[in-house]
Structure 1
Amino acid sequence: MIAQIGQKAPNLGVSKWVQGMPTNFDQEKDHIVLVEVFQVNCPGCFLYGIPEAINIYQKYHSEGVTVLGIATAFEDFDKNTVENLELLAKTGETIGETKKALSQYGRAVDGSKIPYKIPFPLGMDLLTKETGVVSNEKVTDFIKSQLPDFDSQPEDYKSQIIQRVKDYFKSKEYSAYTFDTFSLRGTPSTILVDRKGILRDVSFGQTGHIEQMIQELLNE
């Protein structure tokens, strides 16, 4: 099932919660839920995405806003692992490009640790080893989530897009359930669900509009 804005949000796929109590959208009734989706080996996630999520948590947690962190993997599968997420949660230790960037920007503590404590639950996306077989339904769902007007495009263009998406899926070592279900385009990304469990927003990168949307949802 591919998530759609304005519809009930499907539950997150989590293989393991490494910090905090296990939870999901269907367990957060009457709460607004913000999910920060990141990769352990993602400098922008730790310089911008996660600090923004921490700010939201600190400002609105007492008003009924739940913030969750989901570590995913769509690349660098040797680094974006549950073991490295556990290391981060327990010690603040970073790895790879994240470690380099924090050090470069003078943000690292003791040379490699994040300069803040992540106060909300952290879980690992549900990764499934790819078999190399890609169904037409999976290809179509992915394309339509990215290009809503796909059906109206010229046939030659549609054929090219279909082949590119098939090649993309075949090149992936793993599929990440949450990343794929919410048609995310990269990390950091945010998923915002209202008190009724309806998906209200999915965003990629640093957009700056999430806090305003949360304020509006609190006033509904």
Structure 2
Amino acid sequence: MVKIGAKAPNLQISEWVQGKPTNIDKEKGNVVVVEVFQVNCPGCFMYGIPEAIELYNKYGKSGLTVLGMATAFEDYELNTLENLKKLVTTGEVVGETHRALSMYGHLKDGNKLPYKIPFPVCMDLLKKESASELTESRVMDFIEANVPDFRSYSEKDRQVLVGRVKEYLKSKKYSARTFEEYSMRGTPTSLVIDKKGNLRHNLFGANGHLDYIVQELLNE
């Protein structure tokens, strides 16, 4: 779990699929925005990535580094390294992303993004899960990372939540290392890191404030 204001650990990466390989420790002196997405995530391509591209175009020569990182915490058959490579090389989208963007007329040639991602893109490090690793300690670690007020629940509600978490963890095929280390809630997520390498924001969803946040950090 990475707290706001603490040093941002390096992204745990399986492969860089576009751009020159780098990481957070190599970008000190720059403000860093890591745009975290899933290939099968319509909102990522309607809001998150276009916003990151705007920031890259606006501040990329003024001290801002923008990185894209694909992850997978669901729909593992679609959120794959293969589909990510297809996305960055041809613009082709799949699954719910294709369905939603097609519905809103946001695709060209039937199945391709109308824009190209201009910044480096990598894939989160995925570790295959094993049912034998589902310990009580792991269940509680997950709960404490995601439900800070768990201890204030009634005994009955705590038991219900523990049961639900166990079922969720049993259904997981992979653990996405960076996604979990930063305790992200979903995608799109924007990790914002200051010039000293400290995590300043962990923003889930489109909020409209990212440009202002980046300006403030660039001026520090």
TM range (shorter): over 0.9
1:192 Cα offset (Å): 0.9
Which stretch shows the higher mean deviation, 160-169 or 23-32?
Answer: 160-169
Q: Deviations over 1:30-81 (max 9, x none)?
A: 1111011111111111111100110111111111111111111111111110
Q: Deviations over 1:5-28 (max 9, x none)?
A: 111111111100000011111111
Q: Does 1:38 align with 2:17?
A: no
SS in 2 for 1:63: coil
Give the match for residue 67 of structure 1.
Answer: 66
Which stretch shows the higher mean deviation, 131-140 or 166-175?
Answer: 131-140
Report if aligned partners of 1:102, 1:108 keep a CA contact under 8 Å in 2: yes
**Alignment-mate amino acid for residue 162 of structure 1:** V
Q: Deviations over 1:61-116 (max 9, x none)?
A: 11111111111111111111001110111111111111122211111111111001
Give the match for residue 212 of structure 1.
Answer: 212
Give the match for residue 12 of structure 2.
Answer: 13
C-alpha separation between the residues in 2 aligned to 1:4 and 1:21? 28
> Aligned-residue CA RMSD in angstroms?
1.4
Q: How does 1:41-56 map to 2 (within 5 A)?
A: 41-56=40-55
Report if aligned partners of 1:41, 1:80 keep a CA contact under 8 Å in 2: yes
Give the match for residue 148 of structure 1.
Answer: 148
Give the match for residue 129 of structure 2.
Answer: 130
TM-score by length of 1: 0.94
1:137 Cα offset (Å): 3.8
SS in 2 for 1:192: strand
Give the match for residue 83 of structure 2.
Answer: 84
Q: Deviations over 1:128-172 (max 9, x none)?
A: 110012234433333223222333443333333223222211110
Residues 214 and 136 from structure 1, CA distance in 2 versus in 1: closer, same or farther, beyond 3 angstroms?
farther
C-alpha separation between the residues in 2 aligned to 1:139 and 1:195? 35
Q: Does 1:159 align with 2:159?
A: yes
C-alpha separation between the residues in 2 aligned to 1:142 and 1:195? 30
**Alignment-mate amino acid for residue 4 of structure 1:** K
SS in 1 for 2:61: helix
**Alignment-mate amino acid for residue 163 of structure 1:** G
Report if aligned partners of 1:142, 1:183 keep a CA contact under 8 Å in 2: no
C-alpha separation between the residues in 2 aligned to 1:63 and 1:100? 37
Q: Does 1:57 align with 2:56?
A: yes
Give the match for residue 174 of structure 1.
Answer: 174
Residues 192 and 141 from structure 1, CA distance in 2 versus in 1: closer, same or farther, beyond 3 angstroms?
farther
C-alpha separation between the residues in 2 aligned to 1:91 and 1:212? 32
C-alpha separation between the residues in 2 aligned to 1:70 and 1:87? 15
Give the match for residue 139 of structure 2.
Answer: 139
Gaps of 5+ in 2: none
Percent of aligned pairs with the same residue? 58
**Alignment-mate amino acid for residue 200 of structure 1:** R
Gaps of 5+ in 1: none
**Alignment-mate amino acid for residue 41 of structure 1:** N
Q: Does 1:108 align with 2:107?
A: yes
Give the match for residue 28 of structure 1.
Answer: 27
